[in-house]
Chains A and B, each alone.
Chain A
Amino acid sequence: MSKVKMTKQELRKMSFRWSWNRSLSWNYEKMMSLGYLTTLAPFLDRIYADDEEARQRSYAVHSQFFNTEPNFGNVILGMNVAIEEELGKDGIDTAQGVKTSLMGPFAGIGDTLFGVISSTILGSIAVATAVEGSYVGIALWIMWNIFVLFFLRPAMFTMGYNQGIKLVTNLSGQLKRFTNAASVLGLTVVGAMIASMVGVKFGAFEFFGTTFDIQAGIADKIMPKLGSALAVALFYYLLGRKGVNPNRLIWIVMIVTLVLSYMGILVTP
């Protein structure tokens, strides 16, 4: 239908356009909607240059609600461009269908892969080296950010464009495997961080003239860093309870810890 064919360079430019515009106007009503439309607008102007009605309809469709993980947004945009390039105005509804059906699952996969795992692994290494006074970990993390912006996101855009919908079926099994493996690495690192970064020390109390040192007498005999493990287990459990969110947990932990330290049950590690 349309004679426009995007070059590799143009797709790359669109990926950067998305990276900049995606969340500037993020709002509770339509979330990334404006970012999506802004990214596509020049493309839509070009392919519907001779058909004002189709152009306006595509604008209307692409200003609908949109929200996903920013990196995986590239894949969806790539598919969308390919579909409308090939089918023209007959592809607008198909493109919208792809958008709405993929944004949810991609948000889930993307948040796990990019949000949790990259920040768990790289973040933990950065934290551990930073508190020892070394810039190594943070340098690694910055290199990862640069790689994502300049290579990974444009590559994901092109991948969505080239492979279209068949990518999703090909990738879903692979991605699950990859996510699981990355989670294993993440969990191993977090386990070590719990032992090395969380400090909990129990106090001693007197009972009929005898001093009971909870830390040396009980906790250390069971295993080192027992308090750290207990603290994480307790907070993990609390977060699963209704009405406890991370922001509230911060306040609960602060107040309860102050009370326990006043009573001498917790002391400076």
Chain B
Amino acid sequence: MELQLWQIVLLTLWAGLSITDQMTYNLGFNGIIQTGIFAGIVTGNPLLGLGVGGILQSYALGIGTYGGTSVPNWQAAAIIVTALAGSTDNVASTIAIIGIPVAALTIQLDVIGRFANTFFQNWADKHAAKGDGVKVHFINQLGLSTFLISRMAPVFIGLLLGPALIDTVREYMPEWLSMGFTIVSKIFPAVGFSILLRYLPTKNYIQYLIIGFSLAAWFNAPILAVSVIGLAAAIIVYKQEGTAVTAGASNMNTGDDYDE
């Protein structure tokens, strides 16, 4: 799908707003789904953007920037895929051709940005030593520039060169490969979930993972129903662990107390 210049500019600006929000107030402009919706509005198909955002968010569920780790830039992928897919039928292949490569290959830009900010740190430290709070405040703002570049550049370049790239790849891509990418896109959420499970106390509470899985696998329970059942389980656990604290360890055996 060919884009107008104003659309490319608007989408690039959103990428800047998005990273600014992520580093500051965290109001949700950094969300992958929100980014997809915005890209959808700009290109005239909000529902397509919502769907793309939902798929890409599922890849990123377990991923947060803990301790400043760099993670794939799914926001850029959401913009580019929504803008270039054109229709729902093309989503899986567009994600594979350009979405995943952009998200994964631009990780390094974030690393460079966080490294480059050492320059602002050292500069500000000189003024901190003199007790100049105004200068420190000012230099701290400049640190945002590296993050802006690292997020806006891939979106701008991707939107500019993307259409030609996609056409070329589609023309030469064999049937088995495009089918393979569709299969990949269905398996990919499993990566997000397994990362998430690594951060949750999965070994202690695996029974609840099994309950949730069973409800959806056998009974096709909608996600909201599962959430409510999960909430009930959470309340039970909260109350039980409360009595464990007040009643003392003598007459309670919670899983946490077992040695391996």
Interface string of A240-269 (1 = CB under 8 A from B): 100000110111011001100110001111
Report the minimum CB–CB distance from A224 to chain B (whole Å): 5
Report the minimum CB–CB distance from A191 to chain B (whole Å): 3
Report the minimum CB–CB distance from A55 to chain B (whole Å): 5
A148 to B217, CA, bound (A): 34
Q: Is A196 an interface residue (CB 8 A)?
A: yes
Q: A26-B114, A191-B209 are in contact. Are A236 and B197 (CB under 8 A)?
A: yes
Q: Is A188 an interface residue (CB 8 A)?
A: yes
Q: Is B158 an interface residue (CB 8 A)?
A: no
Contact yes or no, B57 A192, CB < 8 A: no
User: Most chain-A CB neighbours within 10 Å: which of B72, B104, B193, B237?
Assistant: B193
Contact yes or no, B212 A191, CB < 8 A: yes
Q: Looking at chain A's contact residues, is the secondary structure mostly helix, strand, loop, or mixed?
A: helix
Chain B residues with Cβ under 8 A from A262's Cβ? 176, 180
Q: A25-B140, A188-B233, A197-B58 are in contact. Are A52 and B26 (CB under 8 A)?
A: no
Contact yes or no, A38 B208, CB < 8 A: no
Contact yes or no, A177 B179, CB < 8 A: no
Report the minimum CB–CB distance from B104 to chain A (whole Å): 6
Q: How many residues of A contact B (CB 8 A)?
A: 108
A133 to B27, CA, bound (A): 22
Tell me the A1-45 residues at the B interface (CB within 8 Å). Answer: 19-31, 33-35, 37-38, 41-42, 44-45
Segment with Cβ contacts to B, from A75-83, A113-121, A162-170: A113-121
Q: Is B202 an interface residue (CB 8 A)?
A: yes
Name the residue of chain A whose CB is nearest to the CB of B142: A25
Q: Looking at chain B's contact residues, is the secondary structure mostly helix, strand, loop, or mixed?
A: helix
Q: A193-B189, A200-B187 are in contact. Are A138 and B37 (CB under 8 A)?
A: yes
Contact yes or no, B27 A42, CB < 8 A: no
Q: Is B247 an interface residue (CB 8 A)?
A: no
Chain B residues with Cβ under 8 A from A91's Cβ? none
Contact yes or no, B198 A196, CB < 8 A: no
Q: A177-B245, A257-B187 are in contact. Are A24 and B140 (CB under 8 A)?
A: yes
Q: A142-B28, A247-B107 are in contact. Are A197 and B189 (CB under 8 A)?
A: yes
Contact yes or no, B223 A129, CB < 8 A: yes
Option from A34, A121, A229, A266 in Cβ contact (under 8 Å) with B124:
A34
Contact yes or no, B128 A188, CB < 8 A: no
Q: A35-B140, A38-B137 are in contact. Are A189 and B212 (CB under 8 A)?
A: yes
Q: A24-B140, A126-B57 are in contact. Are A120 and B200 (CB under 8 A)?
A: yes
A186 to B200, CA, bound (A): 8
Contact yes or no, A178 B238, CB < 8 A: yes
Name the residue of chain A whose CB is nearest to the CB of B121: A27
Chain B residues with Cβ under 8 A from A111's Cβ? 64, 66, 199
Contact yes or no, A181 B238, CB < 8 A: yes
A235 to B193, CA, bound (A): 9
Q: Is A87 an interface residue (CB 8 A)?
A: no
Q: Is A173 an interface residue (CB 8 A)?
A: yes
A115 to B60, CA, bound (A): 12
Q: Is A216 an interface residue (CB 8 A)?
A: no
Report the minimum CB–CB distance from B149 to chain A (whole Å): 14
Q: Is A63 an interface residue (CB 8 A)?
A: yes
A135 to B20, CA, bound (A): 24
Q: A26-B114, A142-B34, A178-B238 are in contact. Are A67 and B67 (CB under 8 A)?
A: yes
Report the minimum CB–CB distance from B111 to chain A (whole Å): 9
User: Most chain-A CB neighbours within 10 Å: which of B100, B137, B206, B210?
Assistant: B137
Contact yes or no, A231 B190, CB < 8 A: yes
Chain A residues with Cβ under 8 A from B71's Cβ? 246-247
- Give A contacts to B, CB under 8 Å: 19-31, 33-35, 37-38, 41-42, 44-45, 52, 55-56, 59-60, 63, 67, 70, 107, 111-112, 115-116, 119-121, 123-131, 133, 135, 138, 141-142, 145-146, 148-149, 173, 176-178, 180-200, 223-225, 228-229, 231-232, 235-236, 238-240, 246-247, 249-251, 253-254, 257-258, 261-262, 266-269
20 inter-chain pairs at a CB distance below 8 angstroms, sorted by A residue, are A25-B143, A38-B137, A56-B131, A125-B227, A176-B241, A181-B237, A183-B205, A189-B226, A189-B227, A190-B196, A191-B209, A192-B216, A192-B221, A195-B212, A197-B193, A200-B186, A232-B194, A235-B190, A247-B71, A257-B184
Would you list the 3 A-B pairs with minimal beta carbon distance, nearest first? A191-B212, A25-B143, A130-B54
- Give B contacts to A, CB under 8 Å: 23-28, 31, 33-34, 37, 47, 50-51, 53-55, 57-58, 61-64, 66-68, 71-72, 100, 104, 107, 114-118, 120-122, 124-125, 128-131, 133-134, 136-137, 139-144, 176-177, 179-184, 186-191, 193-202, 204-206, 208-218, 221, 223-224, 226-227, 229-231, 233-235, 237-238, 241-242, 245
